[in-house]
Amino acid sequence: MTTCDRSDYFFMNRKRRRDRILRKCAAMRAAKERKRLANPLFERDPKLVPFYPLQFGVRDKRTGDVAFVDFKSVRDAARRLSVIKRYYL
């Protein structure tokens, strides 16, 4: 027993429908690119680069080398410190 009386028809032309939508999206992207190329005077906005206000650093007492990286998250910092501990200690 099915809860939807049209459930048999859902999967019937699924691949064909998917291909049609992908072609439509590709055509829209191509049209957008042609529009951009036709009007080169319009200055495109630069892509936003993430800004991290904090940094954390590690200093090697033997050589005095210091390295700073952006503090993205605690998980990222823990991963970086575990790599340092594994290979440099």
State pLDDT tens for residues 3-53.
666 666 666 788 888 999 999 999 999 999 998 888 877 676 777 888 999
The three-state secondary structure class of 35 is helix
Q: Ramachandran region of residue 22, left (φ > 0), alpha (ψ -120 to 50) or beta?
A: alpha
This prediction's pTM:
0.46
pLDDT at 7: 63
State pLDDT tens for residues 46-72.
778 889 999 999 999 999 999 999 999
What are the extents of the domains in the chain?
55-88
Indicate the Cα dihedral angle 26, 29, 35, 37, nearest 10°. -90
Q: Which amino acid, residue 87?
A: Y
Query: 56, 69 in Cβ contact below 8 A?
Result: yes
